[in-house]
Amino acid sequence: TFRILNSSRDLALSLVETAQYVGYIEDTLQVIAQPQSVVDAPNAKQLVAKGGAVELRNVRFSYGDNRSDTLHRLNLRIPAGQKVGIVGPSGAGKSTLVHLLQRLYDVHSGEVLIDGQPLTEVKQDSLRAALAVVPQEITLFHRTLMENIRFARPEATDEEVYAAARAACCDAFIRATPDGYNTLVGERGMKLSGGQRQRIGIARAFLKDAPIIILDEATSALDTESEMEIQRSLVRLMRGRTVIAVAHRLSTLTAFDRIIVVKGGQIVEDGTATELRQRGGLFETMWRLQAEGLSVDEAENAA
C-alpha cells in the first residue's frame, strides 16, 4: 500500500511539473510567435547603435503582393534623441511604420536605417537589442513579478530590476503585495490592472536601456493616478533616447519634439505641435476635436 501511495504521490508531482512545463512552453511560444518572414543575410553584421538615429528612405511596403501600397515612398529622418509622435486616422499606416523599424517585415523598396546601417544588413538580435518596445498590450507570463520584469534583460541583477521598477513607478505597488517581487502573476496568480501592466512594460524598457524606444500608447482609459504615474515614468524613460511613439493621448502629444501626421500611407504633416496647430491642417482639426472632448482616436477618425 505504501508503495502505491508513494507512486501516486510521484505521479501527482510529475503532473504538477508537467503542468509547469506546459506553462513555460506556452510562455515561450507567445514570445516566438512573431512573423518569421525575415531572415539574417549570410554576411549580416552586428548593428552598432550610437545615438539611435532613424531613417526611412523612399520606403514602399504592402502586406500582400496584390494589394496597393500601405506605405508609399515614405521618407523620414529622425535625428538621435528626437522624440516623435505619430498620429493619423485608423488604417493610415502608423503601426506599419513602427513594424518596419523593428524589421518585422522587409520593405518592398527603399531602405530603413539605424545610425546609418541598413536593417537588411544587420543581425536581428543586434537590432532587437537596440530597440525597447512598449506595446499597447503588455504580455505577462505566469511567473513572478521579478521574472516578468527581468524578461527584458535576463542577466540583470535584482538591484537593476528594483531600479527599473522604481523608475517606472511600480516598486511601490509590488512591495505592497504580500510576496513582493516573488508574487506570481497571471490567471493562477495576481491580476494586474491596466495601469499596473503598462508600468511593468515601462519597467522592462528601463531595464533594457536601449537607445531607441518604440511606444504604442495604450488607448484604454486609466484612473487619474495611474495616468499621472505613467506619464511621469514615460517622460523619464524618453530622456536621452530616440522615441517613436504611436500617440493616443493628448497629454503625451505635447511631450514630443515633433509630430508626424500619417494618412493613406504618407506623411501629410510634419512639425512641432505648435507649428502644426498654426498650420490649420489635419492635426489642428484633431486637436480642436479633442479639446471638445473626443478621444485621440475618435478625433483622428473624425478629422
Residue 35 or 42: which CB sits closer to ligand ATP? Answer: 35
Report the length, in residues, of the chain: 303
Minimum gap (Å) between residue 296 Cβ and ligand ATP: 10
Minimum gap (Å) between residue 295 Cβ and ligand ATP: 12
Q: Report whether 112 contacts 100 (CB < 8 A).
A: yes
Residue 96 or 242: which CB sits closer to ligand ATP? Answer: 96
Minimum gap (Å) between residue 247 Cβ and ligand ATP: 10
* Residue reference for cell 511596403: 61
Minimum gap (Å) between residue 262 Cβ and ligand ATP: 6
Residue 97 or 202: which CB sits closer to ligand ATP? Answer: 97
Taking CA atoms, 123 is separated from 14, 33, 42, 102, 170, in Å, by 40, 19, 9, 12, 33
* Residue reference for cell 502586406: 63
Minimum gap (Å) between residue 283 Cβ and ligand ATP: 15
Residue 92 or 122: which CB sits closer to ligand ATP? Answer: 92
The residue ranges that bind ligand ATP (CB under 6 A) are: 63, 70, 88, 90-96
Residue 23 or 264: which CB sits closer to ligand ATP? Answer: 264
